[in-house]
Structure 1
Amino acid sequence: MNDCQNKYYLKPNVALEALFDRWYAWSHLISPATAAMNVKDRHLKIMDSYIKNPKIHAAAVKKPEMLGGPFIDYDGKRVDEIKNLADQIRDKRARLLALADAVNELNELLLGHAKGYSLKTLYEKVPDILKGYVELYYDLNDQPNFRFFEALLYKSEFYDDSPQSIALQLVESDKQRSFVLSTPRLDDEHIIHAEIPFSHPIIDQLFKMKRTPGDYSEIKKILKIKPEQETLFDSFFTLKVPEKYEQYSGHGIRTRYFGHACVLVETNEISLLVDPVVSYDGYENDVPRFTTEHLPDQIDYVLITHNHQDHVLFETLLQLRHRIKHIVVPSSGKGNLQDPNLKLMFKNIGFDNIIELDDMESVELDRCVITSLPFLGEHCDLDVRSKQCVHVNLHNKYKVLFAADSQNIEPKLYEKVHAIVGNVDVLFLGMECDGAPLSWLYGPLLPKKADRDKDQSRRLAGSDCNEGMSIVNQFNPKDVFVYAMGLEPWLEFISSIRYTDESRPIVESNRLIEKCRAMGISAERLFGEKTIEYIDYLEYQEQSEAVSA
């Protein structure tokens, strides 16, 4: 590549995978306490199982009903490499693993000795490496627990960005990547691994090149590309000028659906992006979709509804970081193990201007008000506060409610919310009403393994038809859009979902759509791309008349 004379663009189908010790990274691998528990009781357990029985894993990943399970997808091969990685993790993350052991020891201490009397004498029995990082407490039912001073943990030896790295590759098919959360990323001739932390500015510099040409040689130098990697690295770049993004200039509101729960809302003054999970461009596919090429140069507000892997996707967020002006996140439970703080997490991976909202708090702008509304359920009945539905009031006229995956198990809540915010024009709602069991996401954090019947009853589930219709009837929207719930083919790598017409989320969402239409409400289940534009005809007419005069 003649990098001395030309400025190059990054191809639109270059993907970034954020990795933690070669495992696909998500928010629970950033906060030190949850990272410790996941390394010990998820990553190492899966690797040890593969080392012992690789053929079982190879058979399991071929069964559709086992997709998303704890099985490594290397066809029973590369066992020595997995063993080597596990050994390295045990060696390099010894202190992190000691932290996990200390958390388990503290749970046993409280279970055995906290009987409703003062906890003062127990502080001396707290494991040494946890002393100064935890507060012991009772709830009002005399049940003992502890909370972390999470900000201190981020300043301690337990927060270490050396496990962080990025993997770069060309995505040339929606089916190219299998489910990523249960298989570590070993060396591959089609992937370049760069040992840099997520906060490194080179990530911004590199992904700016998807729209603005940059210095290829400088990027290559900073990423320490080896001579044998240059041919592959060269293939990531092009001289082809990308199409220029056309900023919305209409007099109304344009919403664009990008797949899953990701929606872009634009006026001629502001842009809002909800739960960024965005497909790649530059390869043939069967399903039309919007990509990063259809996002504005500056995204004024990114709105995060809750802290699950498919809503806080580093792969998209890190690529967009240089475009994001503000991130709005729900506040957390302040130190609960199962509820790591999103503001701290984003700050420590290089994001600025993070706005944290409590229930019913707002960001008030000149022509837009963003309000955090309560979000029920979908977190297995755990005390998780970092979740919000987002209410957006644009032009003091158009109101959009992003209800995310809220499970409306107590309709009285939204009755009270409606009394404050009123009706909405548009409702976006997730209806994954089955959901994975408690242990699928939170298993490594539990002091003891959940009984199977309890595990299966407590699920990461959204609203069914009746629960969803209660939201519809409460807020009286003109338009109802149900998310595709991970059905888009480019999301299988993170969602592992393969529904049929008989799957309960499809049946329930079909019922809701039929009921809405019978009431005269426009309703559909989204899939792929969708543009909806709401024109303020009166304002447009007044402006046109003023210009004519």
Structure 2
Amino acid sequence: MSGDQSFIRPNLIVEPLVDRFYAWLYTVAPIQGAMNLNFLQVPLLESYLQSPQAHVLASTNPELRGGYFVGIEESRKDEVKALLDSIRRDRADMLKLAQAVADAEDSVRQGATGFDLTPLYPKLPPELAGLVEVAYDTSNQASVHFLEPLAYQPGTHDVGRQSVQLSLEDGIERPFILSTPRLPKEGTLDLAIPFNHPGLKELFLARIRPSGLDQLSEALELDAAGRAQLAGFLTDSPSLSPDRHIDAGARVRYFGHACLVLQTPEVAIVTDPFISAESGAAGRYTLDDLPDHIDYVLITHGHQDHIVLETLMQLRGRVGTVVVPRCSRGNLVDPSLRLYLESIGLPVIEVDDFDELKFPGGRIVATPFLGEHADLDIRAKSTYFVDLGGRSLWLGADSSGIEPALYRRIRAHVGKIDIAYLGMECDGAPLTWLYQALLTQPITKRMSDSRKLSGSNAAQAGDIVDELGASEAYIYAMGEEHWLGHVMATSYNDDSYQLKQVEEFLAKCADKGIKAGHLFGQQEWRW
């Protein structure tokens, strides 16, 4: 490998970490990150240290896949204890902030009786001074609203928590991201730098343009040992696909999960980028198949499988605009996606329902997203209508068909749809699986189990397609791709309810003369 003509290897794995846990919206956003640290991650580490072997066995049990078990061998329990000790010592202010949020919400529940709220402010914990407002809704129910931009300022938002672990993909499924911290290990390079560090941008641009070992080592502030490790992640030759751009017409490529790449010669659009690291396996597109420049990245919602930092970080310097749905401002379960992505160095704009972005030869329209968030008041979610090369596409993510009339209204606003793409995870995880750390008032298991992170079943998906007037309809793979298992942790078989519902939906489409399919791996549409 020459020192001044180096590219990153195609199978480079990038894991963004906060206090050694995999980074996603609810662990990076300052208020939510504090809550998850105090009420989920610290108790999880404490539980592991009480019974390491039980955690290890559970983490390898297929029946418990996706459960909150630490998959670290017992021989490394002292390292886990050191991690827990460092969190208690170095993140003491964050742990206090989390408890302050819980105490404040309890104080408001007890003290807001429909009368003037002014006397409550002196009773709020000092950690929240200047960070919150207390207000009633029109049902006379009071709640705490967080002034989130202030929480991203130094003192509350500690980028010292952040680091990045680099390794090479080896074909072995990584541990589940919500439960197992990433300890240093042989073959990894741990970068103790924040996610917005300029050196990371330089590193990831070396996928599409040559750099050099010396240049990258300096940009990443590496010592001699780090430089030697980095050399193993570089190669002399780029591995980019020769057909990653198009010269005429329009094209849509399916990259897996909910990720689509929409292209004409004038524009490139990527939805919910969650893209495989190349491991030599055929049958799927990888980061090497992306166009060099992406005009728009469309994010549908904040779940960890749709706004994926390990992919988004690698697009810094290549993206014109990341489009995110606007949040409700101040709601604990609905943090700002804009602030989150801006904090890692991406250019972001927010959209509301039916906001429109025009590009040469087409337009993007944000359309409503219904359900799939366990009935929580989360506004930062959007589907998208795209006019591309003379055809109309609807990108539905996990939006539910619980109210078909919504999609009739969408069609009335944007027109008939040629192709609809949507998910059918219709038996999702219960409320507490993802949101437990943010619930400051206990909820019964029966309630939690009734409120699932579910999209459309066959009947609901059929209603969506009918109301949109779609000529074609395609269902995402919904986590069936094994290379996404560290995030999805799904285990389907031929008798799984979700797959049976997909079969039923496809049969209904066939009866109506609608071309339909269940996506997996890679697929391409051209016109």
Query: When the two structures are superposed, what TM-score results if normalisation uses the length of structure 1?
Result: 0.93
Separation (CA, whole Å) in 2 of partners of 1:249 and 1:157: 47
Q: Tell me whether 1:182 sits opposite 2:179 in the alignment.
A: yes
Offset at 1:55? 1.7
| Residue 367 (structure 1) aligns with | 361
Offset at 1:36? 0.5
Matching of residues 65-464 of structure 1 within 5 Å: 65-173=63-171, 175-243=172-240, 245-246=242-243, 248-281=245-278, 283-285=279-281, 288-352=283-347, 354-395=348-389, 397-464=390-457
Q: Which moved more, 1:74-83 or 1:436-445?
A: 74-83
CA displacement, residues 16-41 of structure 1 (integer Å, 9 cap, x when unaligned): 11000111000122221101001111
State the secondary structure of the residue aligned to 1:263. Answer: strand
Q: How many residues align?
A: 527
State the secondary structure of the residue aligned to 1:531. Answer: strand
State the secondary structure of the residue aligned to 2:110. Answer: helix
Would you say the 8 A contact 1:245–1:293 is kept in 2?
no
Q: What letter corresponds to residue 300 of structure 1 in structure 2? A: D
Would you say the 8 A contact 1:245–1:296 is kept in 2?
no
Would you say the 8 A contact 1:434–1:459 is kept in 2?
yes
Identity %: 38
CA displacement, residues 92-138 of structure 1 (integer Å, 9 cap, x when unaligned): 11111111011011011011111111111111111112121111011
Q: Which moved more, 1:490-499 or 1:210-219?
A: 210-219
Would you say the 8 A contact 1:245–1:297 is kept in 2?
no
Offset at 1:312? 0.5
| Residue 42 (structure 2) aligns with | 44
Q: Structure 1's 132 and 370: CA in aligned 2 closer, same or farther, altered over 3 A? A: same
Would you say the 8 A contact 1:57–1:76 is kept in 2?
no
Offset at 1:348? 1.2
State the secondary structure of the residue aligned to 1:289. Answer: coil
Separation (CA, whole Å) in 1 of partners of 2:313 and 2:245: 24
Cα RMSD after superposing both structures? 1.5
Q: What letter corresponds to residue 391 of structure 1 in structure 2? A: F
Offset at 1:83? 0.8
Offset at 1:500? 0.5
Offset at 1:2? 5.6
Offset at 1:251? 3.9
Separation (CA, whole Å) in 2 of partners of 1:252 and 1:478: 20
Q: Structure 1's 96 and 512: CA in aligned 2 closer, same or farther, altered over 3 A? A: same
State the secondary structure of the residue aligned to 1:162. Answer: helix
Would you say the 8 A contact 1:437–1:457 is kept in 2?
yes
Separation (CA, whole Å) in 2 of partners of 1:333 and 1:230: 44
CA displacement, residues 62-84 of structure 1 (integer Å, 9 cap, x when unaligned): 21121111100013331111111
| Residue 504 (structure 2) aligns with | 511
State the secondary structure of the residue aligned to 2:15. Answer: strand
Would you say the 8 A contact 2:135–2:142 is kept in 1?
yes
Matching of residues 475-514 of structure 1 within 5 Å: 475-514=468-507
Would you say the 8 A contact 2:104–2:124 is kept in 1?
yes
Offset at 1:399? 0.7
Separation (CA, whole Å) in 1 of partners of 2:148 and 2:386: 31
Offset at 1:245? 3.8
Separation (CA, whole Å) in 2 of partners of 1:170 and 1:146: 44
Q: What letter corresponds to residue 368 of structure 2 in structure 1? A: P
Would you say the 8 A contact 2:202–2:219 is kept in 1?
no
Separation (CA, whole Å) in 2 of partners of 1:221 and 1:378: 45
Separation (CA, whole Å) in 2 of partners of 1:370 and 1:161: 34
Offset at 1:247? 5.2
Query: When the two structures are superposed, what TM-score results if normalisation uses the length of structure 2?
Result: 0.97
Would you say the 8 A contact 2:176–2:486 is kept in 1?
yes
Q: Unpaired segments of 5 or more residues in structure 1? A: 535-549
Offset at 1:228? 4.3
State the secondary structure of the residue aligned to 2:429. Answer: coil
